[in-house]
């Protein structure tokens, strides 16, 4: 081994070149980083496989949705035929020579057949709308005018149910960009839901002429938004159930589809809005459909 003479005759080890320390550091860094790199690679592989599974699942669900929609359409057509033939049979039965008691018995069965066919058709209509994609045609509209028109349309149904319908509207137009047909449907779903809730809570032996509750339609500009409130004096909803009622097929009504409120919320969201609920048991419910408002200059 080479040695170097120092002053006084002693010897010393040759100096280590800096490249040696750099090489040693690089080797140590590789040794330390190798397990980390392997771990990151394994995580990347797992994520890639998970993403591939999600893509396959999304594709499968899309195919299933398309097949289900087609099946629903195929079922809906025969249901219309069944309903029509039941109506024709009922008309023929009325002109038949059968004894009256047999006519009445067969008539009840035909009425039941027509009701069930109509109920299934309604279920399929709601399902197809909820499962499909909304095609919005948003146009600047006066929300006050729409709500006034819809209230006039809904008034006879409220009268039949024993519900007092009231409105609170601004004296001036409140503009929003909406698809008028879908916007009306969302509000109509909320109004129907309110009347049905009050009807379920009404005593079975009530006077048919008595009022069972009130329904309020209120349009309220709030900053950059417009809120359409649908307020009822029904039984109210417990806090722990308030989010659940916006999920599909959750309903408190026998024979209901449970899609009215989910469809209404989806319509609100498609308009970049929100549908919220404030309710307490025994104090009614307030559904608020909030939409972005178009700012318009008021006349001077």
Beta strand pairing status for 213-222 and 163-168?
A: parallel
Tell me which of 91, 114, 132 is where a domain ends: 132
Q: What's the average model confidence in pLDDT over 227-243?
A: 92
pLDDT of residue 71: 66
Q: Are residues 54 and 143 in the same domain?
A: no
Q: Are residues 277 and 165 in the same domain?
A: yes
Q: Are residues 159 and 269 in the same domain?
A: yes
Q: Predicted confidence band at 299 (pLDDT cuts at 50, 70, 90)?
A: very low
The answer to whether the beta carbons of residues 259 and 127 sit under 8 Å apart is yes
8 falls within a domain: no
Q: Are residues 97 and 113 in the same domain?
A: yes
297 falls within a domain: no
pLDDT of residue 215: 96
68 falls within a domain: yes
Torsion angles phi and psi, residue 292, rounded to 5: -65, 135
Radius of gyration of the chain (CA): 35
How many independent structural domains does the chain possess? 2
Q: Are residues 124 and 164 in the same domain?
A: no
7 falls within a domain: no
Q: Are residues 168 and 213 in the same domain?
A: yes
Tell me which of 132, 147, 179 is where a domain ends: 132
Quote the mean pLDDT of the chain.
80
For residue 20, the enclosing domain spans 16-132
Name which residue leads in pLDDT, 108 or 228: 228
pLDDT of residue 300: 43
pLDDT of residue 298: 47
6 falls within a domain: no
284 falls within a domain: yes
The answer to whether the beta carbons of residues 228 and 217 sit under 8 Å apart is yes
Tell me which of 111, 132, 153 is where a domain ends: 132
pLDDT of residue 53: 74
Least confident of 61-65, 227-231, 290-294: 61-65
pLDDT of residue 70: 65
Per-residue pLDDT of 4-61, as tens digits, reads 455 555 555 555 556 666 666 767 777 777 777 677 767 777 777 777 777 666 666 5
Q: Are residues 236 and 192 in the same domain?
A: yes
Q: Are residues 102 and 198 in the same domain?
A: no
Q: Are residues 157 and 221 in the same domain?
A: yes
Q: Are residues 123 and 168 in the same domain?
A: no
Instruction: Report d(CA 277, CA 288) in Å as an integer.
Output: 6
Q: Are residues 249 and 166 in the same domain?
A: yes
Q: Are residues 125 and 147 in the same domain?
A: no
Q: Look up the CATH number of the domain holding residue 173.
A: 3.30.565.10
34 falls within a domain: yes
pLDDT of residue 217: 97
pLDDT more than 70, % of the chain:
75
């Amino acid at each position: 081994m080479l040695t170097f003479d120092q002053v006084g005759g002693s010897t010393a080890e040759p100096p280590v070149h800096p490249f040696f320390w750099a090489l040693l550091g690089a080797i140590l860094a590789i040794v330390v980083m190798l397990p980390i790199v392997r771990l990151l690679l394994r995580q990347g592989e797992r994520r890639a496989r998970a993403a591939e599974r999600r893509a396959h699942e999304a594709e499968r669900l899309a195919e299933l949705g398309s097949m289900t929609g087609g099946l629903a359409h195929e079922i809906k057509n025969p249901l219309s035929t069944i309903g029509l033939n039941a109506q024709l049979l009922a008309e023929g039965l009325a002109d038949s020579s059968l004894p009256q008691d047999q006519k009445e018995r067969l008539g009840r069965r035909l009425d039941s057949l027509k009701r069930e066919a109509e109920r299934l058709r309604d279920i399929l209509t709601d399902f197809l709308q909820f499962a499909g994609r909304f095609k919005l045609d948003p146009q600047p509209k006066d929300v006050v005018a729409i709500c006034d028109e819809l209230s006039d349309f809904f008034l006879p149904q409220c009268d039949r149910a024993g519900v007092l319908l009231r409105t609170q509207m601004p004296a001036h137009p409140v503009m929003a960009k909406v698809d008028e047909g879908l916007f009306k449907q969302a509000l109509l779903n909320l109004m129907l839901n309110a009347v049905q809730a009050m009807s379920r809570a009404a005593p079975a032996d009530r006077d048919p002429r008595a009022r069972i509750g009130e329904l309020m339609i209120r349009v309220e500009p709030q900053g950059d938004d417009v809120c359409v409130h649908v307020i009822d004096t029904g039984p109210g909803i417990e806090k722990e159930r308030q989010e659940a009622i916006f999920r599909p097929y959750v309903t408190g009504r026998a024979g209901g589809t449970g899609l009215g409120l989910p469809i209404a919320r989806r319509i609100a969201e498609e308009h970049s809005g929100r549908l919220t609920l404030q309710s307490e048991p025994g104090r009614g419910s307030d559904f608020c459909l909030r939409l972005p408002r178009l700012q318009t200059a008021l006349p001077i």
